[in-house]
Amino acid sequence: MMSANPVVTDTVALSCRDVSVSYGDKTAVAGVDLDLYAGEWLAVLGPNGAGKSTLLHTIAGLGKHTGTVTMPDGRAPSATDIAVMPQNPCSPKV
């Protein structure tokens, strides 16, 4: 059973520093700095086209970006650290 009050620690689980994503001359995400702490919940809110999905894909290592996304040991996140579940998943045709 999940606790209604998750335990948030002072341990940084993931850091983003000056993360930006551009598609050609169009900037989708600009200069994001954040620290996610173990046990913390995060909501990414904004209007359509604001870069929410782009930011989440970048954090998961699924897109080209500038800046850094790091785990506590200094390495980039891998598939064993982070997963993304899209709102409208696409599965390959069989």
- Per-residue confidence (pLDDT) for residue 85, from 0 to 100: 76
DSSP 43: -
- 4/47 Cα distance (integer angstroms): 28
In degrees rounded to 5, what are phi and psi of residue 56?
-65, -40
pTM across the whole model: 0.78
DSSP 6: P
- Per-residue confidence (pLDDT) for residue 41, from 0 to 100: 85
Kindly report, residue by residue over 50-85, the tens digit of the pLDDT: 999 999 999 988 889 999 999 999 999 988 888 777
Tokens of 22: 């551009």
**Residue located via tokens 């993304």:** 84
Any bridge partners for residue 53, and if so which? none
Helix (H) or strand (E) holding 18: strand 12-23
